[in-house]
Amino acid sequence: MLCPNCGKYSSDNIIVCPQCGKLLQRRRNQDVGVMAIRQGKRARMAAMLGEPAVPLQSEKTTFEYQGASRIGNEITGSQNSSGQIPVYADVDVFGVEGDPLTEEDLRFEDKIHRSAVYGGTTEEILLPPNPAHARRNRKKHAVNWWKIGIALGVLFVFILGGIFIFLRQTDTGQKILARLGQDASSTAYWEIGEERMDTGDVENAILAFERARAIDEEAMEQDNAEYNVPGLLMLASTYEATNRTAEAEQIYIDLYTNIVPTANDAYTNEIRILLATGREAEAADLMMQAYQKTGQTSYRTQRNELLPKAPETNVYAGLYEEKKYITLTSQEGYDIYYTFNAEAQLPEEGTHYEQEIFLDEGIYTMRAVAVNGQLVSDELNAVYRIIMPSPQTPRASLAPNTYKQRQRVRLWPGLDNMEDDDITIYYTIDGSLPDADSPIYTGDPVLLPGNYVDLHAVAVNRYGKASNTLSIRYKILAKPYPLTSYDINDTGSGLTLCLTTWDEFRAVYGDALDMEEVRLSGIADPCQKRIYPWGYAVFYKQSGRQLLGELYFTTSIISAPRGTGIGNTENDVVGKFRDMGQLASASGNRGLYENDSGKGKIYQQDDGTRIIRYTANTADSHKWQLEYTLSASGVVVAVDQLYIP
């Protein structure tokens, strides 16, 4: 307690103040210590004892206590005997009794902490609350329900905003919305679908997956978002689990066709479905596509195990100098189809292989496949270049020039072919170009006729390749000269093709025994064939007249041009027309002449008979043909004159 005389503090059990020696008077329940000072008890105590109180000089009043002093709200002091400084915390100075209490008084009314070092101990004094202060506090702080309502409303808005942000901005919130079937992200629906799959709720899993797919597709249309490939694969596998195979296939096809061309899982699953449904050919095609797109050799291996092996050939592709016969085989014995057309579809447009394939000179690109039902092997592709070497142009012993005597000429192969025993030389002196029906040079010199002579020769090797043509013109000023060629001025018995009318003909030879309609080559309208005992005459219509188009006779009642006719020998006929003296070919045919006006040649028939045929070119680019048929004995038995439009 505080001494009312000197204001010094004494413990509660001391009766006389140790400082001034005054009697310390007490009252029941009297506040003591710092609480008394704070509540103005010091002044009240002094008034009760009739002594002057220690006045408060100002807001900063100094109190002394064991070497420590307090000025206002500041505590000062020095170390005590224990080496510690007494500290007073949160202590305010109050005026005399009756001063109004402030909010700060109320804050420190319930508890004041004081720490002081006294005899090496620390005390903490708890002061009881002041009932008067409590009453004042309750009056001063009345409840404001309006403010509380506003605060609660604001709090509610914040709570709703937080819930909205939680649902819209967090993965957990999106999944909650997805479970409720509300608008949510595709990711949330994919995850919900997967959760339902794990719990065996397949139907609802499909609904969630389809909702997620629809959201992704809408996003793709708007801002080029990416597809959820794992999600689409889950949806497809779920379709398969519910026997909705067609819908699963559509997803797989869309994945590797439009979304991810390298999607291994999509290829694998679609191949599995194709094989399970008996569509091996489609599966094989898809395996090849998967191998090309992904580079995974497992697809190629799987395809090789499924398909028949490609056909094999006995002749490898390459360059050859001789003709070839190609044989195709299938290891498993399957049917083989081949083609040389680069655009043909195999096997549909190919040729069924049954026998060896002959390849003459040329370049061939052969394609072939083996077929087992609907399964078609890979193609065998082989390019054959058969380019046989050509011989050199043959050489002649006689240089082109003008000669006054008939000449003979020898022929040889080119210098590079001198050692080649398989060189054959074909030649002509009748004015035609050499071919396989021309005479073969055997080594004997060729006798050249008089006048202008054109010598032509080609060399042919064992591959059937012909050289360039040797062409030399000689002028031989020696008789006998060849006769003229057959032309349109040559007539017999006064009958002329294309000029003699039916009326003129009938006036000489009378009416026919019979008549029938026939057609002549190159004439559109039917012609009238009038039959006589000696043969027949054919008339065609032109400009309202019937003109002689063909005359055939087998008796001497009618004569042929240049006094020839029935009963003549071959030499009789040939001696009346141009003959360059060319030898017969290996077939027995012999060329007589060939020039701008026409051609003459003798043809050996298989039955032993022979035909002497002459043609003449008309001014209007048509032809007349005169043909003698000789019996096996060499006598003319029929003559035919024909107009060829």
Q: Which CATH class is domain 166-306?
A: mainly alpha
Asked whether 558 and 446 are in contact (CB, 8 A), the reply is no
Output the six-digit token pair for 533: 């005992």
* Nearest-angstrom CA–CA distance, 467 and 393: 5
Q: Is 475 helix (H, G, I), strand (E, B) or coil?
A: strand
* Nearest-angstrom CA–CA distance, 545 and 522: 18
Asked whether 492 and 565 are in contact (CB, 8 A), the reply is yes
Alpha helices, H only, 255-382: 264-276, 280-294, 297-306
Q: What pLDDT was estimated at residue 159?
A: 82
**Which residues in 373-432 belong to E strands, given as ranges?**
375-376, 380-386, 395-396, 402-403, 408-409, 411-412, 424-428
- CATH superfamily assigned to domain 395-476: Immunoglobulins (2.60.40.10)
Residue 644 C-beta-side C-alpha neighbours within 13 Å:
13
Q: CA angle 145-150-155, nearest 5°?
A: 120
Output the six-digit token pair for 196: 């339902």
* Nearest-angstrom CA–CA distance, 415 and 412: 9
Tell me which residues of the chain have a pLDDT lower than 50: 28-49, 51-101, 103-127
Q: Is 411 helix (H, G, I), strand (E, B) or coil?
A: strand
Output the six-digit token pair for 54: 């220690």
Output the six-digit token pair for 151: 């605060």
Q: What pLDDT was estimated at residue 178?
A: 78
Q: What pLDDT was estimated at residue 99?
A: 46
Asked whether 591 and 432 are in contact (CB, 8 A), the reply is yes
Output the six-digit token pair for 466: 């012909």
Q: Note the Cα 134 to chain centre separation in Å.
A: 91
* Nearest-angstrom CA–CA distance, 454 and 469: 12
* Nearest-angstrom CA–CA distance, 465 and 20: 158
Q: CA angle 559-565-571, nearest 5°?
A: 150
- pTM given for the model: 0.52
